[in-house]
Amino acid sequence: MQNSKWNRGVAVVGVGLSKFGAFPDKNSRDLFVEAYLDLIGTFKEFDPKRIEAFYLGNFSSDQFEKQAHLAPILSSWVGLSPIPAVRVEDACASSGVALRQAALSIASGEYDVVLVGGVEKMTDLEIAAVTEALATAADMQFEVTAGFTFPGFYAAMATAYMSEYNAQREAFYHVSIKNHNNGALNEKAQFGQTIKSIMESKIERAAQKGRPVPEWQDEIDFLSDPKGNPLIAWPMTLFDCSPVSDGAAVALLVSEEIADQFTDTPIYFIGSGQASDGALPERETLSRIPAATQAAARAYQMAGLSPQDIDLAEVHDCFTIAEIIATEDLGFFERGQGWQAAIQGKTARNGEQPVNTSGGLKSKGHPVGATGIGQLVEIWKQLNGLAGDRQAFGDLRIGLTHNVGGTGQTCVVNIFERRA
Amino acid sequence: MQNSKWNRGVAVVGVGLSKFGAFPDKNSRDLFVEAYLDLIGTFKEFDPKRIEAFYLGNFSSDQFEKQAHLAPILSSWVGLSPIPAVRVEDACASSGVALRQAALSIASGEYDVVLVGGVEKMTDLEIAAVTEALATAADMQFEVTAGFTFPGFYAAMATAYMSEYNAQREAFYHVSIKNHNNGALNEKAQFGQTIKSIMESKIERAAQKGRPVPEWQDEIDFLSDPKGNPLIAWPMTLFDCSPVSDGAAVALLVSEEIADQFTDTPIYFIGSGQASDGALPERETLSRIPAATQAAARAYQMAGLSPQDIDLAEVHDCFTIAEIIATEDLGFFERGQGWQAAIQGKTARNGEQPVNTSGGLKSKGHPVGATGIGQLVEIWKQLNGLAGDRQAFGDLRIGLTHNVGGTGQTCVVNIFERRA
């Protein structure tokens, strides 16, 4: 924290995650309890009375569940009342921003121990209603009135990117394949299958039913075929899009000096930045997200680090193009090089710059308000060598999370360090 | 700030308020701009580039305007991008909580200058839809399923209070009369009429139209007559309820040491507390709001003050019973004495403990997400002697705001001091 202005340091001393997926029998309360119990299970001893405040990232239980004012409801539900409970909303960046607010509240001196969570229960609505609710994260006056919903926005970004850098569509497929490969090793992921296994089971099913058997040679072949992978909004196909998900994630934050009272494996906030932007029509180009670059610049500056110092990152791959742009916005690759890096496997789990070892939003799932803290959960596990079969190689010390809201109206970047 | 844990002090150096009311031609953006321009107009010089972050209190533009992710939209709208923009939601306490978060963010050291605002645009929907949207601020699973909406919740609290303390219904009318008297002197208030003038114009209209002329002797007589003042949910009548409103409020917060660069009339955060609670069925009694008492206790403790030190307060009178309970929760009067104090005029503008000199939610209006910072606007004006015709007497140095969300699931209390 070479250039931190924070009055004191903040550590993450534990994390918890619900299973991500579609759960007709679970609401936000159930999902939150599942994540909270997962957190508590990581401690030998745990006294909830030490928790002094609760921050919740949630996009719109207002629309998804007809329940606003969710923060005190959830904190009361797990017995934490009367501690202050604050909901933070910045669309799909809600819990990344909540995480930053929770950290600032400790840096202020007001609290020593803060619980921060994120939750979204999206699958109760019909898919058209989900798309409509998600569209309210964009600018309803200047973006949505142009006829776009989110797949369209990111398709437009993908088109701009391809045009500007002569990028090949295959790069998007490589992102999808990689993230499914990682997610297949994550027991909490919504999609536990690799693209290869999805392809093979489709071939098998066709054979069983006596239908013409598709002659896909490999995953790229499969993803390039609209029969295997239907188009959503050109050039974004089904396997370029993250799913609609239910899920919750939590983390326990404490002031740096008391971290060792809670765990032997803390990780520390060493950088944090947030930025905002107007609607897409105001931007010079659609091939980048300026708020991401600005948030990252602040986070790097606070940490005294450069992109090359980041051992691994969880980035906001709501669509495959978003991951490629993120790897450039974050400075991992030069502008226009991200798509080639994806094809070359540089962002693979054991590539030179691992990205989304968790499976990312694409495969792990994207319960929007839970995503930011879900990213932290992966960084915590990887830095502490707790990621099991998907553990990335090497001495991992620095991890980064990149969480985007709307069409890039919000971005928050947090950087964490393992010191032990 | 005798017992503050904040790493540094925070000052309010300016405030701005839109007109409150029902404005079919204005959306959240318009209301916010109106408040922001009102703020800017109070400075001789103002450099928006000094603003480093924006916090927004908003209950549910999701439901009222089908627009989530409002914080970056509003900050971009007034040219403040790319600064971080964070929406905070705690139902009707949203902007009181946003105010506290903004202050903590300065106390943390991260920012020196922060804009905080609150906005709600409620009148576009039909009244039944507004009631339904507001109900999502309560617990939809354990409160609303019992058949209640907000007038019913507060009617139940009023019944419990009357039963417990043998209180007379007339006390509620006195709160309403007082707040309309104050609001009639507030050019930003939704209702510019006193109860007396409303009564007189009804009498006059009956006479003009040749209908039987009501024989109301005074305001109490008028309010007691269902022909003048229809019942909503016994014992709450029309004139016991705050209205559905559109409006916005903003404030500029800076770190204490640079306050004099902005204004000669800063006021300082000296106490702040927030607390939460579960749903009504979990509470021992409905005659009080425990989260309010807890938030106030923390705020008093931080300030090193007792209730008797508060020169004036803006409290959350969403219903008249709520003001009476608030004056007890805050310790201004003993339990069971608040109703008599209201009848005795103790909370009048020039009574011994002035409450809601602005007109309160009842008369000024209640655009829910704007209310908390709207309360600060009044405290700023009163402490600085800028409240015009409604200026309270005396050397006012200490003001308090009390902002409640839901049925008391959230309460935030902030205390401010004028030092000059």
Instruction: Using a CB–CB cutoff of 8 Å, tell me whether A206 touches chain B.
Output: no
Chain A residue numbers touching B89 (CB-CB < 8 A): 68-69, 71, 87-89
Lookup: tokens for B34: 């109106």
- Other C-beta atoms within 10 Å of B210: how many? 7
Query: What is the structure's pLDDT at B147?
Result: 87
Say yes or no: B144 contacts chain A, CB-CB below 8 A. Answer: no
pLDDT at B1 over 60: no
pLDDT tops 90 at residue B129: yes
Considering only the beta carbons, identify the residue of A5, A68, A274 that sits closest to B89.
A68
**Mean pLDDT over the full length of chain B:** 97
The per-residue DSSP string of B16-72 comes to EEPPPB--TT--HHHHHHHHHHHHHTT-SS--GGG--EEEEE-S-HHHHHS---HHH
Q: What is the pLDDT of residues B207-226, one digit of tens each?
A: 999 999 999 999 999 999 99
C-alpha A375/C-alpha A379 separation (Å) is: 6
**Residues in B touching A109 (Cβ below 8 Å):** 5-7, 107-108
Q: List chain B residues with CB under 8 Å of A29.
A: 141
What's the CA gap between A100 and B188, in Å, rounded? 36
User: Scanning every residue of chain A, which has its alpha carbon at the shortest distance from the alpha carbon of B76?
Assistant: A278
Q: Minimal Cα distance from A90: which residue of B? A: B69
Residue located via tokens 């933070």: A88
Instruction: Check B72 against A90: CB less than 8 A apart.
Output: yes
Please tell me if residue B28 touches chain A, with a CB cutoff of 8 Å: no
Asked if the Cβ–Cβ distance from B275 to A84 is below 8 Å, we say yes
Q: Reply yes or no on whether the pLDDT at B132 is more than 60.
A: yes
Sign of the CA dihedral with A73 first, then A314, A239, and A172 last = positive
Q: Are B315 and B330 in contact (CB under 8 A)?
A: yes
Q: Does A62 touch chain B (CB under 8 A)?
A: yes
CA B84 to chain centre: 26
**pLDDT recorded at residue B2:** 62
What are the angstrom distances between the C-alpha of A345 and each of A158, A173, A177, A381, A388? 20, 12, 10, 22, 21
pLDDT greater than 90 at residue B51: yes
User: In this complex, do A67 and B141 lie within 8 Å of one another by their Cβ atoms?
Assistant: yes
CB contact under 8 A, A290 and B82: yes
CB-closest option in B67, B85, B410 to A85? B410
B276 with A84: Cβ contact below 8 A: yes
A131, amino acid identity: T
Digits of tens for pLDDT over chain A (420 positions)? Answer: 568 999 999 999 999 999 999 999 999 999 999 999 999 999 999 999 999 999 999 999 999 999 999 999 999 999 999 999 999 999 999 999 999 999 999 999 999 999 999 999 999 999 999 999 999 999 999 899 888 889 999 999 999 999 999 999 999 999 999 999 999 999 999 998 999 999 999 999 999 999 999 999 999 999 999 999 999 999 999 999 999 999 999 999 999 999 999 999 999 999 999 999 999 988 999 999 999 999 999 999 999 999 999 999 999 999 999 999 999 999 999 999 999 999 999 999 999 999 999 999 999 999 999 999 999 999 999 999 999 999 999 999 999 999 999 999 999 999 999 998
Q: Which residues of A are catalytic?
A: 92, 366
Q: pLDDT grade, residue B362 (50/70/90)?
A: very high
CA-nearest residue to B52 within chain A is A275
Which of chain B's residues have a Cβ under 8 Å away from the Cβ of A82?
A: 275-277, 290-291, 294
Q: Does B131 touch chain A (CB under 8 A)?
A: no
Alpha carbons A160 and A373: distance in angstroms, whole number:
30
Contact criterion met (CB < 8 Å) for B67 and A294? no
Please check whether residue B170 touches A, CB under 8 A.
no
Query: From the candidates B69, B94, B112, which should be mutated to test the interface with A, based on the most A CB atoms within 10 A?
Result: B69
Retrieve residue A292's tokens: 């991401």
Contact indicator for B141, B42 with CB cutoff of 8 Å:
no
Give A122 to chain B, closest Cα distance, Å: 15
A61: helix, coil or strand? helix
* pLDDT band of B135, cuts 50, 70, 90: very high
Q: Does A122 touch chain B (CB under 8 A)?
A: no
Return the HEC string of A283-342: CCCCCCCHHHHHHHHHHHHHHCCCHHHCCEEECCCCEHHHHHHHHHHCCCCCCCCHHHHH
Q: In this structure, are residues A400 and A387 in contact, taking their beta carbons and an 8 Å threshold?
A: no
Catalytic residues of B, which ones? 92, 366
Provide the shortest C-alpha distance from residue B38 to chain A (in Å). Answer: 23
SS (H, E, C) A129-162: HHHHHHHCCCCCCCCHHHCCCHHHHHHHHHHHHH
| In contact, A400 and A310? CB cutoff 8 Å | yes
Does B63 reach chain A within 8 Å, measured CB to CB? yes
Q: In 10 A of CB A147, how many CB atoms? A: 7
Amino acid at B401: T
pLDDT, tens only, B247-296: 999 999 999 999 999 999 999 999 999 999 999 988 999 999 999 999 99
B residues 235-274 closer than 8 Å to A (CB): 274
CB pairs under 8 A between A and B: 214
